Structure 1
């Protein structure tokens, strides 16, 4: 993967390699539609946690948030301008088929729970393990070149693990009291010069998410506006998305707002508590930091937060990369089609490997 031969980029990636070798925590990332790379380095391997979001640094939070919202302290922060070219070749890795029966059965169980009236929607996922020869830094550079519209990151903490991803979904952005987030749901494969044709299942799924966000945020807001849904592209997939904007009430505690939004219906379901309980009891693996969230908290200014949902991501352990894929299940879902959707989503990360 080519990247610009400028001294700043060389220095930054050299410091990343040094952090890997020294087993020190760091995160490097690029926000959507930007050319600026930001790297946050911590000088010790101490495990810091976010308690109330008054801390400063970079947060890495799991799907089930308790006391383990990891914080990378900004002992050193580097920022560089660097454009990364898309020179990605087609993948020779194909999605595995051997998990099909298990995933179809999981989806069928989810549909039964919806039909009983216990859930309106549940997001069910699976993990794919692939042997890789590329190192995480090389894979991160590939993500930068391929996914300019995503939040691309490489995270490492010796006591937590190494993760990399290109997520299309904002959890929440806050600047002083101005809030921005998105209502994102539904998936169709991208085809050149073909507009996506959404069915009632996808439209209903996205509207559920908008209604939920509206209900969760309204108690904290002086003003809240949710736009009409539109098609947005993320890599080789289409999604339906509405923009959510508003002004927080002056006495609101930031931690309460984030707790109200995470986990979102787009990664969990509706009602969220019941859906999360079903996921934890029925998915045959632990999501860990997949479908958690990550991003800056008070890094450049106080009361300034930029958080993203941890989707389209992978975890590295030695030569194995674990990829995570899932989809929203409603009463109108077809288990076989849901399996095919996870296959399409898996190609996003498999193409990088």
Structure 2
């Protein structure tokens, strides 16, 4: 099947409900600033993996790059128009403070490791578990309405789990060998009618990420442009972002580009191998698919990809949602401020629930 069949949104969501009941794999999603929901449904419960990103379908990749990338096959491929509704925002969010001491210690360890050795930046996170009464479909619809400029998705595979999120970060988009990605770092809370005031720590962190992405892509593109950093809003937060563009080398496979970019410095650190090693040894949980990547591959034409970093996401099991929050640690990080940053970030997903 080549192009998606046009359906009504209700049909797409009914099909999701049916797939959840039968334990069949699917992914439904909406790309940033678009008004179309796309559904990719697999007809069997089989667990497929991509071998080299040449298959058609929807991929769901873990944080650790040596682990396999799950593929949902597009046995059916649907699309429906999506119209934004006004959903009241819940500003009365109760935050969870019981991890404060543990997280501050984790950040202190990170800063010590950076001062000691080759590590320049490491992204450290924690997991929050919350009881929920809403269904995955209701949560997905709220995410789409609340975050129109994010990649909003709901994913399910009986052997992998149920995940949903609204991520502000593109891993890579490729079409006709033209590549687009972004360098995203730094966080400040959004305040009404106020521009963000970035400090040296944030500006340097973002600059570090841009330079690192430039180095990583140098062997995969003919030319590379990295824009100046600009402030972008994602829900109740500000970030610094630079757009990155390039033309892939003629005979290069897309897998090489993906491997060069994942995991990004925005979710792992610099240098990648040292940061990943530190995370594995010090974070007291397994990230699995948090800070992995996901999206469509070759659905409309061969070599066309839209992949996003799995941030601002949750894993849903029975009546519990696991939410993940983290931040970039550099030599200049203040552990208490880093804790507050994770509290601010947790409001994004807690507000949805």
- TM-score interval (norm. to shorter): over 0.9
1:108-142 Cα deviation digits (max 9, x unpaired): 00000011023100000000000000011100000
Q: Secondary structure at the match of 1:252?
A: coil
TM-score (norm 1): 0.97
Q: Which residue of 2 aligns with 1:110?
A: 110
1:293-339 Cα deviation digits (max 9, x unpaired): 00011011000000000000000111110000000000000000000
Deviation at 1:66, TM superposition (A): 2.6
CA distance in 1, matches of 2:71, 2:177: 23
For the 8 Å contact 1:187–1:341, the answer to whether it is kept is yes
Q: Which residue of 2 aligns with 1:156?
A: 156
1:186-227 Cα deviation digits (max 9, x unpaired): 000001110001000000000000000000001111110000
Unaligned runs of 5+ in 2: 1-6
Q: Secondary structure at the match of 1:351?
A: helix
Residues 182-221 of structure 1: pairs in structure 2 closer than 5 A: 182-221=182-221
Deviation at 1:65, TM superposition (A): 2.3
1:280 matched to 2:312 = no
CA distance in 2, matches of 1:91, 1:19: 33
Residues 60-139 of structure 1: pairs in structure 2 closer than 5 A: 60-139=60-139
For the 8 Å contact 1:41–1:73, the answer to whether it is kept is yes
Q: Which residue of 1 aligns with 2:14?
A: 14
TM-score (norm 2): 0.97
CA distance in 2, matches of 1:201, 1:288: 29
Q: Which residue of 1 aligns with 2:142?
A: 142
Q: Secondary structure at the match of 1:201?
A: helix
Deviation at 1:345, TM superposition (A): 0.1
Q: Give the root-mean-square deviation of aligned CA atoms.
A: 1.1
Q: Which residue of 1 aligns with 2:57?
A: 57
Deviation at 1:91, TM superposition (A): 4.8
Residues 338-353 of structure 1: pairs in structure 2 closer than 5 A: 338-353=338-353
Bigger Cα displacement from structure 2, 76-85 vs 159-168:
76-85
Q: Secondary structure at the match of 1:137?
A: helix
Q: Secondary structure at the match of 1:13?
A: helix
For the 8 Å contact 1:88–1:352, the answer to whether it is kept is no
Deviation at 1:92, TM superposition (A): 4.2
Q: Secondary structure at the match of 2:8?
A: helix
Deviation at 1:95, TM superposition (A): 1.5
Q: Which residue of 2 aligns with 1:238?
A: 238
Structure 1 ranges of 4+ moved more than 6 A? none
Q: Secondary structure at the match of 2:243?
A: strand
1:293 matched to 2:329 = no
CA distance in 1, matches of 2:267, 2:117: 20
Q: Which residue of 2 aligns with 1:32?
A: 32
Bigger Cα displacement from structure 2, 92-101 vs 44-53:
92-101
Deviation at 1:94, TM superposition (A): 1.1
